[in-house]
Amino acid sequence: MGARWICIKVELVSGRGRVLDPAPGRIMAIPPRTTFEGLAEAIDTAFGRWDVNHLCQFEFPDGTVVTDPESAAELESSEFGPLSPTLHLSKTVARHLTKGVRFTYTFDLGDNWEHRCTVLPTIDPWEAVGGLAAQPVPIWGWGDLPDQYGRRTEDGHGTEDGHGTEDAEPGTAWSDTTPAPEADRPPAPWVDLRAVRAAKDAAGLRPALLGVEFDHALHQVGQALARLWDAGPADHSALEPLLLSVVNRATLRAWPGDDLLHAQLLARLRSEEPARVPVDPGELADLGSDEYGAVVDPATGDVWPDFPDGLDGLDDTFDPAEGVHYRDDTGGQFEDMEVFVETQPEQSVRDRLRKALDGPRPFARFKDAVSDLDLWPQWQGLRDDRRIGRARAFIQEAVEEGTL
């Protein structure tokens, strides 16, 4: 059996704020060793572009974005939504373009010439092209191609507000409406905090943070990032965009203790010494939320349960009466539940959780509802993050007062 080439249908559906109807298109034969950069160049040529000094990107249904290294770093430091998994344009297309896959190609991220791409069955290049070409080759096409800047003449006349609609070419209808969106993607999964805590280096942490929601867990993610950053400079370049993303998200989120998390991580990005944190905020948050609260040994930073009868032999060298006592208040814990309700995208889920909070025994009723809705890992992640934030703020206040 001879070589088989990838075959894709590329349709130009919109650009410069307008929709093309009908969409001009090309069928293209793609050698397997083609890079995404080579595919982009071939599409631009096939659609008549002469000024190709613009940014471009491919996007796949799972959220993966293929772009240049600088844009990839910006995507991984985004302060909104899930961080997109990224590939560089230098990667070859073969393993990503399988039959039936649909993806988009966008040329010029200012004018946003968007192409809908569909992978067709493979073809025999000898039959389709007449040989083994080194570059992608258009083998079929249709439709009138708009100028990339909307120009109808050499001097640029014949355009309307630069969009080229006044003298639109025959057979191409320009619509003033925005393109109909593709079917919405399902909500991104929430981050697996077990994978975050288990990560031993940047290569282990990055996959755990890409394509997931983690705005509810910034303190926990930030602790993992700080731990790996402090382990040595080898991973700093890979961790930097992730660290920057958490810094920006903490500023926007503004939960208790987020300002302190921001300062801790920003100091590392600036190669400054972060402020001393004499107590583990996660440990204090964990014990401080229990029935009796927690007590901190100011000499060592150790955290103990604040039992009414003392430590009962758990530690004979520390007198709890000389420690710093902390207990997470129930008002903050009730607010945690209210915040969690608002993170849920479905109205029916929000209504169910609000009903649980509106009545007797709201804590127990809320936990039952969370369990019934299979939301326990999400709730636990958000609850723990808010607890850590409050514990971090308490530690900072105690340091300023000189009790820690």
Q: Which helix (H) or strand (E) holds 156?
A: none
Residues facing residue 30 across a β-bridge? 6
Compute the distance between CA of residue 190 and CA of residue 28 in angstroms, rounded to an integer. 38
CA dihedral sign, ordered 160, 161, 165, 167:
positive
Compute the distance between CA of residue 95 and CA of residue 2 in angstroms, rounded to an integer. 19
106: Cα separation from own chain's centroid: 19
Compute the distance between CA of residue 230 and CA of residue 224 in angstroms, rounded to an integer. 10
21: Cα separation from own chain's centroid: 33
Q: What is the pLDDT of residue 309?
A: 74
* CA-to-CA dists, residue 323 to 85, 150, 247, 306, angstroms: 46, 73, 32, 10
The token duo for 171 is: 């057979």
Query: 369 CB contacts (<8 Å, ≥6 apart)?
Result: 352, 353, 355, 356
Q: What is the pLDDT of residue 159?
A: 56
* CA-to-CA dists, residue 357 to 221, 253, 329, 332, 370, angstroms: 29, 23, 17, 14, 11
Residue 287: burial class (beta carbons within 10 Å; 0-12, 13-18, 19+)? buried
Half-sphere exposure of 94 (CA within 13 A, CB side): 7
Q: What is the pLDDT of residue 77?
A: 87
Neighbours of 183 (CB within 10 A): 6
* CA-to-CA dists, residue 182 to 81, 105, 179, 186, angstroms: 18, 14, 9, 12
Q: Which residue type, as a one-letter code, is found at position 352?
A: R
CB 76 within 8 A of CB 86: yes
Residue 395: burial class (beta carbons within 10 Å; 0-12, 13-18, 19+)? buried
Strands, E assignment, 166-214: 173-175
Compute the distance between CA of residue 329 and CA of residue 336 in angstroms, rounded to an integer. 11
CB 7 within 8 A of CB 119: yes
The token duo for 7 is: 């075959």
Q: Please name which of 46, 44, 69, 39 lies closest in space to residue 54, comparing C-alpha atoms.
A: 44
Helix/strand/coil for 255: coil
Name the phi and psi angles at 7, rounded to 5.
-130, 130
Q: Please name which of 277, 228, 38 lies closest in space to residue 136, comparing C-alpha atoms.
A: 38
Q: What is the pLDDT of residue 330?
A: 77
pLDDT in tens, the chain (404 residues): 467 899 999 999 999 989 998 999 999 999 989 999 999 999 999 999 999 999 999 999 888 999 999 898 888 888 888 888 899 999 999 989 989 999 999 999 999 999 999 999 999 888 877 777 778 999 999 999 999 988 888 776 655 444 444 444 444 454 544 444 444 567 788 999 999 999 999 999 999 999 899 999 999 999 999 999 999 999 999 999 999 999 999 999 999 999 999 999 999 999 999 988 999 999 999 999 988 899 999 999 999 998 877 766 666 678 888 899 999 987 888 999 999 999 998 999 999 999 999 989 999 999 999 999 999 999 999 999 999 999 999 999 999 999 99
Q: What is the pLDDT of residue 171?
A: 46
Compute the distance between CA of residue 235 and CA of residue 201 in angstroms, rounded to an integer. 7
Query: 147 CB contacts (<8 Å, ≥6 apart)?
Result: 48, 164
Compute the distance between CA of residue 250 and CA of residue 264 in angstroms, rounded to an integer. 11
Q: What is the pLDDT of residue 179?
A: 45
